[in-house]
Amino acid sequence: MNLQVNGQWCEVRAADLAAALAELGFADAVLATAVNGQFVPAPERATATLAEGDRVEILAPMQGG
């Protein structure tokens, strides 16, 4: 299925957010995620199903001051 990930179209086979993150190389990363503008907490990623055309945002925390 085609997803818009951080503004870029990507094709993934995953059906849920956790599997999509693993497929895209983010499996062990500490990050924040949203699907179609709705925040998805880490414990809920495996149950967050994806559909064709969904917008996925992946944000890594930044350090500094």
pLDDT at 30: 92
Residue 11 lies in a domain: yes
Residue 64 lies in a domain: no
Residue 32 lies in a domain: yes
Range(s) of the domain holding residue 15: 2-59
Residue 41 lies in a domain: yes
Q: How many folded domains does the chain comprise?
A: 1
8-13: Cβ within 8 A, 24+ apart: 12/50
pLDDT at 61: 81
pLDDT at 65: 62
Series of mean pLDDT values for 10-residue runs along the chain (65 residues): 97 97 92 97 97 96 72
8 Å CB contact between 3 and 42:
no
pLDDT at 14: 96
Residue 44 lies in a domain: yes
Q: Please give the Cα distance from 2 to 34 (Å, whole number).
A: 16
* Residue 11, CA distances (Å) to 29, 33, 63 in order: 20, 18, 31
Residue 18 lies in a domain: yes
The CATH number given to whatever domain includes residue 12 is: 3.10.20.30
